[in-house]
């Protein structure tokens, strides 16, 4: 495996940035050096051209060229000018290239090496060529007499070595900014790499790819709804199960409020549309700092329904057990009275017990043809009797058919009766719960009253409110959920003798 394969993204980015910055700085420095060299050569050309023209126009030079011994006059002069201007040679020559002056006196009288044709024609020659002092940048200009005729030539030059030395003297001006640029770029790349290493936890591309694939697979396959929010409370991720539970578009109000609260919750029941969800919310922290929250949701709608039915069955079972025990006691009493010869009194006692039970059954079954609802009320009656509460089914109750789903009717009536039974528990007698179910005028009216302490309409249907110390407060909230789903109404009022009366109206659609 190549060594670079295990490198983290931060290290790879750092090395790439260093290489790119180094290449850019090298290119920039090379360009700066070439520009500086061109500028130095142009400056040298301008310098030698100006000096040559100044010498050529000097009347002393013009007069000396016409004299018997030009070298005797011109050699000291040109050397003084050369030293004063920092050039490498100043040569005054005849039109046939014979030198009158030179930096090296032994070369006086010899032929000048270089191009002079343009100067003989009255122009200026500028070139870089190799002469007796080596390669140099030189210019050749004509010396004219009063009539304008070319009588001599002046060549001034600066060797390439001198130009390079002058260029090298400027190296710090280029090298120092270059070094500073490299240092700053390296420091910036290192800081960026360090930050990236913290954010990626030192993972390489292969590890991050695998992590993404694993996380994506988990998010799609997990059977819990997942909602992730950032530190500002904005939702950034909802997995497939979360979308199925919460629906598309905006989050339900209770879920939004829970996410916005950023508080940690554990197994908190919440309502989302027609679903009962159990929520768990935790903070997400990294390096000691809070970076968001994660909310998981489990669908307990079916489980809650089954639990409610199980509670009803359990309550009915307990009530039947108590009634069986009570019936056994009464049966023993009747048998004992028969054995004592008091048969007439035994018959009256047994008949009275049968009449009470049969009266309630006949009343419920006669008024409510919906079998599930009738069974529910009979079970609740036995459960109420066990608790010392009298459950009264209003004589005007009437439900001849099931215009609404039985499950919704059981949810409304069952939860209202359960809450009423809880409300009167522990109060002073008489403890009564009254139930009215009527199908009339295109709606089903369900009214449940009790003789308990009462409740306010503001708190009754708030999720989490309960009359039970250990309650979850979902009973009345589920009732309101059914009412909202059918477009009905619900209200709370005080009973005539105290307590509370809850009235639910459910429209019946044809």
Place of tokens 């920039």: 28
Across all residues in the chain, what is the average pLDDT? 78
Whether residue 62 is predicted with pLDDT greater than 80 in this model: the reply is yes
What 3-state class would DSSP assign to 105?
A: helix
Three-state SS annotation for 317-342: HHHHHHHHHHHHHHHHHHHHHHHCCC
Beta bridge partners of 144: 150
Task: Give the strand pairing for 150-159 and 89-93.
Answer: antiparallel
The encoded tokens of residue 337 equal 């009275």
CA distance 196 to 14: 10
pLDDT in tens, 470-501: 444 567 777 887 888 888 888 888 887 778 88
| pTM for the model | 0.46
Rounded to whole angstroms, how far apart are CA atoms 284 and 292? Answer: 5
Asked if 366 and 398 count as a contact pair (C-beta separation under 8 A), the reply is no
Query: Could you tell me which of 383, 397, 393, 408 has the C-alpha nearest to residue 440?
Result: 397
Residue predicted with more confidence, 17 or 127: 127
The DSSP bridge pattern shows strands 390-393 and 432-440 to be parallel
Q: Which long-range contacts (CB under 8 A, 24 or more apart) does 278-285 make?
A: 279/255, 284/228
The whole-angstrom separation of Cα 407 and Cα 208 is 49
Give, for 467, the enclosing helix (H) or strand (E).
none
Report the pLDDT averaged over residues 387-413: 81
36: pLDDT confidence band, cut at 50, 70 and 90? Answer: confident
pLDDT tops 70 at residue 83: yes
CA distance linking residue 198 with residue 218, whole number of Å? 24
Instruction: Give tens-digit pLDDT for 152-165.
Output: 999 888 887 777 77
Residue 470 pLDDT: 42
Q: Kindly give, in sequence order, each residue whose CB lies less than 8 Å from that of residue 335, ignoring residues fewer than 6 positions away.
A: 346
Where is pLDDT greater, at 323 or 372? 372
62 contact partners, CB below 8 Å, separation of at least 6: 143, 144, 145, 151
Q: What is the pLDDT of residue 510?
A: 64
What is the tens place of the pLDDT at every residue in 159-189?
877 777 766 666 676 677 777 877 777 777 7
Quote the DSSP letter at residue 508: -
Distance CA 198, CA 153 (A): 75
Residues 313-318: contacts with CB within 8 Å, 24+ apart?
A: 313/379, 315/379, 315/380, 315/383, 315/386, 316/379, 316/382, 316/383, 318/383, 318/386
The answer, yes or no, to whether residue 468 has pLDDT greater than 60, is no
Please write the tens of the pLDDT for every residue from 25-34: 778 777 777 7
* Rounded distance between C-alpha atoms, residue 294 and residue 272, angstroms: 17
pLDDT band with cut points at 50, 70 and 90 for residue 375: confident
How far CA 76 is from CA of 73, 142, 159, 372, in Å, comes to 7, 20, 21, 134
CA distances from 42 to 38, 89, 163, 222 (A): 6, 18, 10, 76
Lowest mean pLDDT among 65-74, 202-211, 342-351: 202-211
Relative orientation angle of helices 171-200 and 9-56, to the nearest 10 degrees: 170
Catalogue all structural domains in the chain, each as residue range(s) with its CATH number: 11-168 (3.30.450.20), 222-299 (3.30.450.20), 303-507 (3.30.565.10)
Supply φ then ψ for residue 116, to 5 degrees: -130, 0
- pLDDT beyond 60 at 82: yes
Coil, strand or helix at 394: coil
Tell me the percentage of the chain whose pLDDT exceeds 90. 2
Non-local CB neighbours of 419 within 8 Å, separated by 6+ positions = 467, 475, 476, 502
User: Coil, helix or strand for 169?
Assistant: coil
> Span 291-295, mean pLDDT?
86
The enclosing H or E element of 506 equals strand 500-507
What DSSP string describes 174-230? HHHHHHHHHHHHHHHHHHHHHHHHHHHTT--HHHHHHHHHHHHHHHHH-SSEEEEEE
Residue 303 has a pLDDT of 62
């Amino acid at each position: 495996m190549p060594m670079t394969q295990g490198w983290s993204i931060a290290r790879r980015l750092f090395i790439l940035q260093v290489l790119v910055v180094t290449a850019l700085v090298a290119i920039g420095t090379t360009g700066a050096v070439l520009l500086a060299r061109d500028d130095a050569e142009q400056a040298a050309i301008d310098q030698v051209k100006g000096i040559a023209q100044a010498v050529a126009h000097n009347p002393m030079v013009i007069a000396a060229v016409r004299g018997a011994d030009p070298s005797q006059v011109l050699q000291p002069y040109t050397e003084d000018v050369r030293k004063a201007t920092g050039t490498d040679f100043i040569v005054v020559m005849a039109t046939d290239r014979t030198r009158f002056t030179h930096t090296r006196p032994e070369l006086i009288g010899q032929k000048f090496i270089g191009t002079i044709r343009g100067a003989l024609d009255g122009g200026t020659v500028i070139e870089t060529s190799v002469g007796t002092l080596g390669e140099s940048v030189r210019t050749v200009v004509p010396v004219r007499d009063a009539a304008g005729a070319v009588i001599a030539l002046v060549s001034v030059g600066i060797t390439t070595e001198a130009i390079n030395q002058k260029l090298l003297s400027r190296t710090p001006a280029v090298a120092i900014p270059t070094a500073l640029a490299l240092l700053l770029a390296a420091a910036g790349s290192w800081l960026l790499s360090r930050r990236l290493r913290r954010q990626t936890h030192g993972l390489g591309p292969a590890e991050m790819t695998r992590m993404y694939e694993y996380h994506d697979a988990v998010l799609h396959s997990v059977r819990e709804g997942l909602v992730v929010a950032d530190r500002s409370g904005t939702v950034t991720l909802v997995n497939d199960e979360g979308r199925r539970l919460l629906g598309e578009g905006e989050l339900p109000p209770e879920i939004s409020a829970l996410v916005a609260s950023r508080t940690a919750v554990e197994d908190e029941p919440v309502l989302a549309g027609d679903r009962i969800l159990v929520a768990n919310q935790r903070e997400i922290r990294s390096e000691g700092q809070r970076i968001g929250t994660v909310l998981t949701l489990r669908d307990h709608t079916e489980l809650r329904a089954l639990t409610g039915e199980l509670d009803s069955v359990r309550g009915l079972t307990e009530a039947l057990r108590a009634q069986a025990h009570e019936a056994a006691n009464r049966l023993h009493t009747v048998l004992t009275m028969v054995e004592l010869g008091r048969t007439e009194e035994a018959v009256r006692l047994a008949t009275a017990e049968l009449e009470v039970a049969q009266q309630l059954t006949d009343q419920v079954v006669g008024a409510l043809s919906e079998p599930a609802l009738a069974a529910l009320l009979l079970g609740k009656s036995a459960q109420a009797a066990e608790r010392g509460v009298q459950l009264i089914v209003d004589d005007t109750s009437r439900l001849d058919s099931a215009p609404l789903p039985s499950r919704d009717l059981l949810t409304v009536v069952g939860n209202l009766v359960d809450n009423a039974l809880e409300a009167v528990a522990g109060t002073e007698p008489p403890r009564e719960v009254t139930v009215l179910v009527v199908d009339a005028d295109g709606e089903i009216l369900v009214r449940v009253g009790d003789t308990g302490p009462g409740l306010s309409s503001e708190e009754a249907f708030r999720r989490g409110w309960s009359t039970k110390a250990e309650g979850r407060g979902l009973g009345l909230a589920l009732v309101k959920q059914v009412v909202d789903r059918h477009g009905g109404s619900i209200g709370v009022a005080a009973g005539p003798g105290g307590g509370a009366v809850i009235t639910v109206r459910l429209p019946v659609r044809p």
